[in-house]
Chain A
């Protein structure tokens, strides 16, 4: 037995020794030191890194680069095919799981499967589908489409939910165009269920792209999936509420520093962070409240803190806190994303993200560092000191950015869906993709169409940010509808007046008259070129086409019967240079809410304010021509064409929706149109009583498409500095404006 024991001991010692050897417990005595020692040669004590006197070799010798050939190997085409076959499922990328060729033929078009009878679709999903169907991307022909969207409701994949659609797997597989999900986009808000809430959708999505809420970085396939925000059933389809920020208080601190009010989970996933929140709560400026009171049997699981927490929870009003807090905590819920996120964003309460591994909504294009504070769940206790250390200038910038982001991408289902689609379009049309600046600064990606130009200087929004200016001349576009019969016609006077402006570089006459083009010699000789374009289809909307000959940034849009002097044009153009993103013009109109009829009213009466400037005499950026033609739906444009009316209202709606600002009215010498005109055919259009009623109808139709009334009132007019001042007229630059 003794021997046995001894053997056992020696055995154990041996084993221990071996263990030591393996795990490096005993370092070699002298060597360990020398290994970690600094090199003596060339080492100077004041220099942390040694200097070498002899020249070291380059890491990338010339001969090596020159011999790198891959001619001997597979061709690039084969390589692409290999990628396609290798990178599937979780490793899908645009390069391997997306058929670009489908988008080549007809551009970027989206097809929505027809809805099948007996399939019930949730309201939210219905909103998504109708947004796509109403967008300019929609096609009803699957052979033209490059992106496919299912009509099967995939939003809620929580098996316990009443909205859960069963047998999705077979239903999807049976779709004739499914093609293993290639070029398909699947929307999802909820996946997995209690207790672990996995991100599995419960059916094989094949090579389809996911537009999913609460997606984790782990499952997110970069540049393939799109992370969307979690939105509620009540989220409006179009328009959407504006942000709550009305004014900027200085210093930018609010009553509370950091707030949160939400559920605490007693069981299951997502409890950790919320369980610890009470450590940070101080009931003064950091108010973090949780309640256990949710679900059927919360009493069963309740812990020692529950009663205390619940009592504290009931003391505060969520709305009040939301509006009066500088920062709002957004910890993970059951899933990574929570409703708190959009609520905070809208309330201009800077979200403090506490949801590790959440791929933030639209992270591919939105720079969230400018609109949120991204915290780390593991450093929860540091959060208060972190947010307190943020400088007030930064808080102000963050707060304003939340409002921009909310209004640009999140305020309605339409915006969320269109942003998703636009992101995918940017990937498909790589060389005409939006730059980060377009996505992250006002007016945002949905209003800046890179197909117009990828050069920032071609848009009216980035002049200040790039330190450049608009082109110092304008192109005049005159909309001609009556035949040229006499030399005293207003259009010819107008032509002469405009041509005399030193800022005018060319005049385009858009011939929308049924009569054939007049002979060239009928047009007066001017110092600037006059280009006559025969209007396509002679419809109203054609005046807002972006003709190739419009080369200047500024467009002076004119009706043929407009009466303007050169001075007025000059002055308006100098004003426009200060406000290149707005419409600057002369005749103004206003809108109002008619509470009796419960609809918008239109007025051309003289009022103390205005919200529209008629495009019969207005200067604006040429980009709005593009936007009018390509951004607005054909339903609205057709309406304008059929009525041959309201095009100016629609343009004002569009520009105000983009800028969120009123147009600018400048001084006019005389009264315009209604009062002045008597003889021309165009005037009869204004005299027509139907004309006015039509404009009223238009307004309401437009407002419903925009989802809200974008027009904004202004009470001021811009006059020349010395306008009607009691000083010699010789001192005045724009003296013609004052002469009657």
Chain B
């Protein structure tokens, strides 16, 4: 009989239960049914013997039928065919496995965009004679796992909202389980339904002598997060391959070490390696001597195993040979990663942990078992730089995904979540790049090498306040540029209306005036719907010295570098050693790290970024100070693309002759100080200095070449 017991001990006492469904599961069916049939005659006492026999037969047939059905329903299918289970994994019945399978709860998921996981309350299962189905009961690790899930955002205590169910039956280690009984216990779960949308965690599947590679408890449609899957048992896109948790993670504190060569080249710490392989390893050791270290069981140190292990790991090395043992999944893998060693995986057909999302090729070396004799050669051929990267990667995998049961459990759930919402899934970079790389790397959103056609042209955006005369001159000048598609005037003056339409210069392309609500510098970078081209020319209303050739050439250069700022006057940031901070430089320098947006081409995408994705308070800060919007734009673009801007054409004085002193501030001392402050402020908000310094600028191919000017495409360049 089955009892439900409280795991805490004292309070709970066994209650004899007689749920029929359960008793049938436990194989007492035969006994009960015999009882019933023997009682048959008593129920029908006054029958003619002829009829009686007839009815008894009928009754028995019905009953037997029912029993048969019942048994078929609840009898764990594995019992007779457990040997076949590992073989026949992808049978037709298993086949159409997708998580959302007609499961209405999945619809609930879809609204939340986060998997809702329900954990069954803890119960203890025992069989008829009161022997528990598991020899260990709830293990420490499984308890950690469940409590981690219950603390996570995935958890829901509302069974009706859940779309994934985690049984509280601990199946981490199959050796401590009674397989048939566990299957029956699972089947009693109220929402089991052949395991639909249930998630089982198992780390040590199979057992001697065969060491099956998946949990022998029939999993039906349940997702199995298993350690040690082989390619035959792993149902791709359905199961999740997880690591075998190593208790060492918790017990030994191994701080991260600098990657690089270590005392030993190869260490084999795997115990229980097959004799043949061990011989081979010994041979390798003989040939290569000191480079190899083979460890075996610490047989003499029976009392304090853990500390013995610890000692073994003091001599941590570079590469590690692992997984040659009886099982595919080994806790050694976790230890190797923790030590920042590169795992050398020689376990044919093994599905590496979390291989669905982790790029193991960057953290491990996989060698077929057959090639064991060549192992040393293969490993020696790996360039040292790569080994270092692998070491770093390996350690990161351990820290992020192997470290604790919590990490393992939540990673599993995240993988399943990504499957259900593939369009919101975490990126490759998110999964695989260690924080250092995440921090220093850039993945430009405009990553495709694409030189856009000339034809759409560019939209010129002129920011103006009230300098109408100068504005009109600028408009007239720009209108001469062949590729100009549209002119947009951003009228930043709320107190004054723009001039009447009739007063504006007549130009061949559409001209639009946008009136802003507030006089803010950031208005010039607003992604107006009126900008229909991807190329934007930001230009001040006093930039009249740029020739049409220079502007057209700037556009051509932008086409070759659509993900960069392409501008005319260049500026530089410098590190002021005395002051210990950044300094702004506008002198004649050999280097450029910024271009002014007083006249610059850039992609409209950066308008969108500036307006909506500018980090910190930079945008407001710029608006409040009425300065440095160009520096902010340079920071933004360099930060997201990792690329320097392109300065085009020779330097010319940008100060317009007619403008008053207030406008031509560039040389003013206070102005310079303010600009330097901007750089320091932005660098602290970005947390780094994203600007890149280059020593080149772009000129037309034949610039200043001894060649007839009239044959040059852009002759009028560089005049002052």
Contacts and interface: CB of A to CB of B under 8 A. Distances in A.
A319 interface: no
B414 to A, nearest CB: 13
Interface in B412-445: 418, 422-423, 425, 427-429, 432, 436-437, 439-445
A712 B428 CA distance: 31
Interface string B578-592: 000000000011111
B272 interface: yes
Interface stretch (B43-51, B217-225, B260-268, B493-501): B43-51
Interface string A647-667: 000000000000111100110
A36 B55 CA distance: 41
Contact of A721 (B204, B382, B589): B589
Nearest to A14: B43
Interface stretch (A76-84, A156-164, A270-278): A76-84
A659 B449 CA distance: 7
A468 B642 CA distance: 11
B440 A467 contact: yes
B651 interface: yes
Contacts of A248: 446, 450, 534, 562, 603, 605
A56 B138 contact: yes
Contact of B422 (A20, A374, A403): A374
Interface stretch (B2-10, B623-631, B663-671, B676-684): B2-10
Contact of B700 (A7, A41, A716): A716
B211 A436 contact: no
A430 B366 contact: yes
B150 A49 contact: yes
Contact of B140 (A3, A59, A437): A59
A727 B651 CA distance: 10
Interface in A18-54: 18-24, 26-28, 30-32, 34-42, 47-52
A722 B383 contact: no
Given A56-B143, A465-B443, A245 B450 contact: yes
A34 B15 contact: yes
Contacts of A731: 588, 590
A280 to B, nearest CB: 16
Interface string B454-495: 001000000000000000000000000000000000000000
Interface string B185-209: 0000010000000000001100011
A588 interface: yes
A14 B41 CA distance: 12
A390 B422 CA distance: 11
A456 B688 CA distance: 25
A666 B696 contact: yes
A609 B589 CA distance: 28
A35 B17 contact: yes
Nearest to B369: A76
Interface stretch (B172-180, B284-292, B507-515): B172-180
A62 B361 contact: no
A51 B592 contact: no
B135 to A, nearest CB: 9
Given A60-B244, A430-B366, A661-B451, A39 B6 contact: yes
Give the bracket for the number of chain B residues in contact with chain A.
35 or more
A48 B155 contact: yes
A247 B458 CA distance: 12
B546 to A, nearest CB: 16
A430 B89 CA distance: 25
A367 B428 contact: yes
A440 B432 CA distance: 13
A83 to B, nearest CB: 7
A345 to B, nearest CB: 14
A379 B110 contact: yes
Nearest to A374: B422
Nearest to B211: A70
B19 A24 contact: yes
Contacts of A468: 440
Most A-side CB within 10 Å, residue of B428, B589, B642, B647: B428
A435 B445 contact: no
Interface in B323-375: 325-327, 331, 348-349, 359, 361-362, 365-370
Given A376-B98, A454-B382, A725-B650, A65 B331 contact: yes
B128 interface: no
A218 B703 CA distance: 63
Contacts of A21: 20-21, 24
A254 interface: no
B359 A217 contact: no
A87 B532 CA distance: 59
A430 B699 contact: no
A176 B609 CA distance: 64
Given A357-B96, A376-B98, A435 B361 contact: yes
A5 interface: no
B232 A31 contact: no
Interface string B37-76: 0000001101100010001001100110011011001000
A466 interface: yes
A71 interface: yes
A10 B588 contact: no
A249 interface: yes
B616 interface: no
Given A35-B17, A440-B428, A722-B651, A717 B703 contact: yes
A614 interface: no
B326 A466 contact: no
Contacts of A378: 100, 102
B141 interface: yes
Interface stretch (A187-195, A393-401, A501-509, A525-533): A393-401
Nearest to B87: A86
Nearest to A712: B451
Nearest to B299: A66
A304 interface: no
Contacts of A610: 701
Given A18-B66, A22-B69, A721-B697, A4 B590 contact: no
Contact of B699 (A588, A712, A716): A716
B6 A31 contact: no
Given A59-B170, A370-B428, A50 B385 contact: no
A41 B8 contact: yes
Most B-side CB within 10 Å, residue of A217, A247, A390, A727: A247
B175 A38 contact: no
A688 interface: no
A303 interface: no
Interface string A720-739: 11111111000111100000
Interface in A600-614: 606-610
B259 interface: no
B713 interface: yes
A66 B297 contact: yes
Interface stretch (A89-97, A285-293, A477-485): A89-97
A473 to B, nearest CB: 15
B527 A720 contact: no
Contacts of B170: 59
B247 A39 contact: no
Interface string A339-366: 0000000000000000011000000000
B639 interface: no
Given A22-B73, A217-B237, A723-B650, 8 more contacts: A15-B59, A18-B63, A35-B123, A59-B141, A60-B331, A378-B100, A720-B590, A722-B590
21 contacts: A41-B6, A60-B173, A68-B325, A68-B327, A75-B274, A75-B275, A87-B232, A91-B89, A245-B448, A248-B446, A378-B102, A390-B423, A457-B385, A606-B705, A607-B701, A608-B702, A662-B560, A717-B700, A720-B697, A724-B718, A726-B720
For the complex of A and B, list the 5 residue pairs with the smallest distance between their C-beta atoms, beginning with the closest. Answer: A41-B8, A467-B440, A24-B21, A21-B20, A455-B386
